[in-house]
Structure 1
Amino acid sequence: MQNTALLLVDIQNDYFPNGRMELHETHRAAANARSVLDVFRREQLPLFHIQHLSVQPGATFFIPRTGGEDIHETVAPLPNETVITKNYPNSFRDTQLLSLLHEAGIENLIICGMMSHMCIDATTRAAVDYGFRCTVIEDACTSPNLSVRGRTIPATDVHDAFMAALGSLYADIQTVEVFLQGTKK
């Protein structure tokens, strides 16, 4: 996994049960992300925690100093790990992420996190536009139910549609099991 870094995007308290924006099966997604994180920690590979802070007026979640914006304990950063704060879905927009990846000589990104249809999608597409090869660990990501024209789209369908779209051009879509098997070679 030379020249590879892990991005853990927005695995934050507000997305979990009793949070301000609960998503579908967040504990499962976070546990799978933790399995990937453990590999990067064990192998001492570069990893980046991405933390969204909502600073725009009218924001309803990830509001600073509420506790909901904190990275969830399942994947909480260690003191020596980089945390990049962002204010937009795209983890590269107005952050130091791109320069840090370039400085580290990173060519490949492993991406886990929340929400599949928003920040995972925006970050993955931007990463490819910047020349990175991306792998999204699909079962280490999740989404909420969404609505359109009075119809509710189940979270699993939202997630699957975005994984299919990303997998068609932007990323290799893997399960955590496949990813972990690949690290044992």
Structure 2
Amino acid sequence: MMKQILLIVMCLIAFTVPQKAQNSKGLLLIDIQEFYFPGGAVELVGAEQASAKAASILDYFRENDLLVIHVVHKVKSGGEIHHLLKPLDSEKVITKTDVNAFNGTDLKECIDKAGIEELVIIGMQTHMCLEAAVRAAADLGYKVTVVDSACATRDLEYDGVVIPALQVHASTLSTLKSYAEIISFEVFREKFLN
């Protein structure tokens, strides 16, 4: 009799205590497109390594039936999503014409419709479209995580001074710490893959 009462109490607790759904997480893949890879119009430093890490992250989200949204920038050539990250038919692809993926698209509506509260955002270029998506997502109230080595950028130049890609990447991620949790791929593996 006592076991039955205990079982009933446990069931009541399970149904009345709010549970945070695992599917409240989503993945945004920002502009991982062919024109950023070797031979493309805007080659990034470390694009191939970043895309390999992004593919592992994508696999995790797919295996756990979590929301995946691919964002692509509309370009005349080289705009195909990189072959390691080709979208499944069930995955949303959003085409943007602005740096910020939320401007002029239905990205926010797709995220909200799926009940997503937390976003993992990865992609290209760290200092441009990735940064804009992270800042916008945080401003809209989402909890944001960026996996640093699943992003890539390029050397920049200003007033005759060349800023190496590694420094551009690091300085951008340093400022994004105010908007998101910035983690390594190893930390992602520990938190999500185990």
**TM-score scaled by structure 2?**
0.87
Aligned equivalents of 1:121, 1:166: Cα separation in 2: 7
**In the alignment, structure 1 residue 10 sits paired with structure 2 residue 31:** yes
- The equivalent position to 1:149 in structure 2, one of 153, 159, 172, is 159
**In the alignment, structure 1 residue 171 sits paired with structure 2 residue 165:** no
Is contact 1:137–1:176 with CA below 8 Å preserved after alignment? Answer: yes
The AA in structure 2 aligned to 1:15 is Y
* RMSD, aligned CA: 0.9
Is contact 2:23–2:67 with CA below 8 Å preserved after alignment? Answer: no
Aligned equivalents of 1:105, 1:39: Cα separation in 2: 19
- The equivalent position to 2:137 in structure 1, one of 127, 136, 147, is 127
Structure 2: tracts of 5 or more residues without a match = 1-21
Q: Deviations over 1:14-61 (max 9, x none)?
A: 0000000000010000000001000001001001000110xxxxxxxx
Q: Deviation of residue 184 (structure 1)? A: 4.0
Larger-Rg structure: 2
Aligned pairs (5 A) from 1:49-60: 49-53=70-74
Structure number with the higher helix fraction is 2
**In the alignment, structure 1 residue 25 sits paired with structure 2 residue 25:** no
- The equivalent position to 1:46 in structure 2, one of 67, 78, 81, is 67
**TM-score scaled by structure 1?**
0.91
* Count of residue correspondences: 173
Q: Which runs of 4+ in 1 moved over 4 A?
A: none
Q: Deviation of residue 153 (structure 1)? A: 0.2
Which fold has the larger relative contact order, with Cα–Cα distance below 8 Å and residues 6 or more apart in sequence? 1
Aligned equivalents of 1:97, 1:104: Cα separation in 2: 11
- The equivalent position to 2:112 in structure 1, one of 87, 102, 106, is 102
Structure 1: tracts of 5 or more residues without a match = 54-61
The AA in structure 1 aligned to 2:183 is Q
Q: Deviation of residue 175 (structure 1)? A: 1.2
The AA in structure 2 aligned to 1:130 is L
The AA in structure 2 aligned to 1:4 is K
Q: Deviation of residue 11 (structure 1)? A: 0.2
- What is the aligned partner in structure 1 of residue 123 from structure 2? 113
Is contact 1:35–1:176 with CA below 8 Å preserved after alignment? Answer: no
